A and B are shown apart, each in its own frame.
Chain A
Amino acid sequence: MNKQETAAKIKAMISENLRIPAEMLTDDAALFGDDIGLDSVDSLEIIAGIDDLFGVNMTGVGKEHFQTVSSLADYVVANA
C-alpha cells in the first residue's frame, strides 16, 4: 500500500473515530497543535485505529510520528 492510500485510510479513521470533519484533515495539518487540537486520549484512539487497520503497533513510538497524517502514513508504510 502506498503512502497516499495509507493517508486516506488514516484520515477516514480519524474522521470517523474522533469526529473530526474530513475537510480539516489535510495531510500536513498539525493533529495536536492549533490546527486540529487532539489530546492524549485521542492519540490512544489513533494508535488503536492504526493497529486495527494496518496491524502496525505504534505504542511507545516517538511523538514526532504523530504530528500529522503524513507522518503517521510514513510510519505505517515503513513498518507495515
Chain B
Amino acid sequence: MNLLEINQRIRQRAPFQMIERVTALEPGHMACGIKCVSVNEPQFAGHFPGLPVMPGVLLIECAAQLCSLVIAPDDSTDPDLVYVLLKVRDFKFVKPVIPGDRLEISVFLTKAAAGLYEFDAAVYCDGALRAKGCLLFTSMNAAQIYPPEEPDIRDRSEDKDKMSGSDTANA
C-alpha cells in the first residue's frame, strides 16, 4: 500500500503522517509499515538543535497510525468515526532513531473486546530493535470529541437601554 492508498484510510497528514508505506496488512490481525526518517522533519529543529534525535512519542505515533489501519474497516469512509489511543504500556526505547534511519514497524492485535483493541508494537531499523511496547485503542464519534456547544445568545436590548441612559446622563 503506497502513500496515496494510505491517505484513503487514515486521517493524519504531513507533517504528522508517520507511515509512508504498508508492506503487510491483515485487517483485524496485524500490519507492517515503513517510515523513512528525514532531517527535514519539523521536530528536529528543536529535538535537539545540532543533535537530531527522533522523539520517542513520535515512534509511538508511528505504531499508532499503523494500528488504526488494522482496526479500521476496509471501507473506512465513516467521517464521524475516529480511532483514538487510550493507553501506552511498557514502551521501551532501546536505541536512538536518527535522520537516515529506515524504520520497519510492526503491530499485532493481541486482544479485542468490548470496543477495545490492544496491540503489541515493535520498531526495527537495519534488523535491530529500536522500540517496543503495547498500545490500547478505542473508537469514538467526532461528536464525543467535539460535543455541540450552545452559543451564549443574550438579549442585547437591555444593554442598549443602559448605554443610552448612560449617554443621557453624561449629556
Select from chain A the residue with minimum beta-carbon distance to B87. A41
In the complex the two chains form, is B113's CB within 8 Å of A51's CB? yes
**A57 vs B116: C-alpha distance in the bound complex, in angstroms?**
12
In the complex the two chains form, is A52's CB within 8 Å of B138's CB? no
Interface size for B (C-beta < 8 A) is: 9
CB of B57 closer than 8 Å to a CB of A: no
Contacts of A41 in B (CB 8 A): 86-87, 136
In residues 40-75 of chain A, which contact B (Cβ within 8 Å)?
41, 44-45, 47-52, 57-59
Interface of A is mostly: helix
Q: Which of B87, B111, B113 has the most chain A CB atoms inside 10 A of its CB?
A: B113
In the complex the two chains form, is A48's CB within 8 Å of B111's CB? yes
11 A–B contacts, CB within 8 A, in A order: A44-B114, A44-B115, A44-B138, A48-B114, A48-B116, A50-B114, A51-B113, A52-B111, A58-B114, A59-B114, A59-B115
Q: What is the minimal beta-carbon distance from B116 to any residue of chain A, in angstroms?
A: 4
In the complex the two chains form, is A45's CB within 8 Å of B115's CB? no
**A47 vs B115: C-alpha distance in the bound complex, in angstroms?**
9
**A58 vs B116: C-alpha distance in the bound complex, in angstroms?**
13
| Cross-chain contact of A49 among B86, B87, B113 (Cβ < 8 A) | B113
Contacts of B87 in A (CB 8 A): 41, 45
Across the A-B interface, the 5 shortest Cβ-Cβ residue pairs: A48-B116, A51-B114, A48-B113, A51-B113, A48-B114
**A50 vs B116: C-alpha distance in the bound complex, in angstroms?**
12
**A78 vs B113: C-alpha distance in the bound complex, in angstroms?**
20
Contacts of A50 in B (CB 8 A): 114
**A51 vs B112: C-alpha distance in the bound complex, in angstroms?**
10
Q: Contact flags (1/0) for B79-108 with A, using CB distance below 8 Å? A: 000000011000000000000000000000
In the complex the two chains form, is A57's CB within 8 Å of B86's CB? no
Q: What is the minimal beta-carbon distance from B76 to any residue of chain A, in angstroms?
A: 22
Q: What is the minimal beta-carbon distance from A50 to any residue of chain B, in angstroms?
A: 8
